[in-house]
Amino acid sequence: MKSLACISILLIATLLASCSRRADSVRWVNDIGEANQQADRALSEGNLVAARSILGRVAEKPLPAGIAQQDGLVVRKDACFRLAMLELQAGRPKIALEWADRGLGLDRRADLFTANLLVARATALEAQGKDAKAAGSYKRALEINEKLLKAELKKDSGRVKS
Amino acid sequence: MNNREVPEREKSEAEALASALDGDGARAVAENMPTDALEVAGLLRVSGEDAGLSDERRDAILKKVFFSTETEKRRVSWLRWLVPAGGLAAATAILALTFTAGSGPTPLPQPDKSLLETQAAVAAGNRQAVAVLQTKMRQYRREMYKTFTENYGG
Distance CA B2, CA A153 (A): 78
Collect all residues of chain A within an 8 Å Cβ-Cβ radius of residue B136.
none
Residues B76 and B141 both lie in one domain: no
Residues B35 and B71 both lie in one domain: yes
Average pLDDT over residues A137-145: 97
Average pLDDT over residues B66-90: 72
Q: Containing domain of residue B140, as a range? A: 113-152
CATH number assigned to the domain comprising residue A76 = 1.25.40.10
Task: Calculate the alpha carbon distances from A16 to B86, B95, B135 in Å.
Answer: 21, 11, 41
> pLDDT, tens digit, for every residue of B11-21?
776 676 667 66
Residues B147 and B91 both lie in one domain: no
Distance CA A159, CA B138 (A): 26
Number of domains in chain A: 1
Residues sharing a CB contact under 8 Å with residue A24, sequence separation 6 or more, in sequence order: A64, A65, A66
Residues B61 and B133 both lie in one domain: no
Evaluate if residue B101 carries a pLDDT over 70: no
The residue of chain B with its CA nearest to that of A1 is: B84
Q: Containing domain of residue A98, as a range? A: 48-161
pLDDT score, position B12:
73
Query: Is A75 inside any structural domain?
Result: yes
Residues B12 and B87 both lie in one domain: yes
Nearest beta carbon to residue A116 from set B91, B119, B138? B119
Least confident segment among A150-154, B10-14, B59-63, B93-97: B93-97
If pLDDT is split at 50, 70 and 90, which confidence band does B124 have?
very high
ipTM: 0.84
Average pLDDT over residues A18-40: 86
- Domain termination residue (choose one: B78, B100, B122): B100
Evaluate if residue B25 carries a pLDDT over 80: no
Distance CA B142, CA B154 (A): 15
pLDDT score, position A157:
76
Residues B84 and B13 both lie in one domain: yes
Residues B86 and B144 both lie in one domain: no
In terms of pLDDT, which residue wins out, A109 or B69? A109
Query: Is A11 inside any structural domain?
Result: no
Query: Is B42 inside any structural domain?
Result: yes
Residues B69 and B126 both lie in one domain: no
Evaluate if residue B99 carries a pLDDT over 70: no
Residues B119 and B87 both lie in one domain: no
pLDDT score, position A2:
65
Number of domains in chain B: 2
Distance CA B92, CA B144 (A): 33
Give the DSSP letter of residue A61.
Answer: P
Nearest beta carbon to residue B105 from set A4, A28, A68? A68
CA B91 to chain centre: 10
Residues B31 and B57 both lie in one domain: yes
Nearest to A152 by CA among A104, A123, A115: A115
Query: Is B129 inside any structural domain?
Result: yes
The residue of chain B with its CA nearest to that of A72 is: B105
Report yes or no: B60 and B42 within 8 Å, Cβ to Cβ.
no
Collect all residues of chain B within an 8 Å Cβ-Cβ radius of residue A142.
120, 123-124
Nearest beta carbon to residue B152 from set A7, A26, A115? A26
Task: Calculate the alpha carbon distances from A120 to A135, A137, B45, B121 in Å.
Answer: 12, 9, 101, 13
Q: How much is the mean pLDDT over chain B? A: 75
Query: Is A8 inside any structural domain?
Result: no
Query: Is A32 inside any structural domain?
Result: no
Average pLDDT over residues A38-54: 96
Query: Is B1 inside any structural domain?
Result: no
Highest mean pLDDT among A115-124, B17-26, B82-91: A115-124
Residues B30 and B86 both lie in one domain: yes
Residues B82 and B127 both lie in one domain: no
State whether A11 and B125 contact (CB < 8 Å).
no
Tell if the pTM clears 0.90, that is, is over it: no
Query: Is B106 inside any structural domain?
Result: no
